[in-house]
Amino acid sequence: MPEKTVTIASRSGLHARPAKIFVQAAAKQGVPVRLRVGDKPSVPATSMLGVLALGAEQGTAVTLQAEGPGAEEALDALAELLARDLDAEDPNA
């Protein structure tokens, strides 16, 4: 199963707005994606409650996992999203 590790850039971590943006993007990928922090169990990237429960703060390394056709592309897209400060971006852009 392909994996990619990325550091959370958003000032508020994966909470509130950044988590919502991430979960929505994960749902559009067309492949199952999971997210984990350290040795904790992974959660579906499409689960808002699961993502929030990880408690990933700014600077936390998270690991994305996906499988199936298009998994690498999905991981690249989601990793790029997490590497940006989503709190600083204009939500209307």
Is residue 15 part of the annotated active site? The answer reads yes
Catalytic residue, from 6, 10, 15, 71: name it.
Answer: 15
> Which string of DSSP letters, residue by residue, matches 3-71?
EEEEE--STT-SSHHHHHHHHHHHHTSSS-EEEEETTSPPEETT-HHHHHHT---TT-EEEEEE-STTH
Residues counted in the chain: 93
Cα–Cα dist 43/35, whole Å: 5
Q: Which residues are catalytic?
A: 15
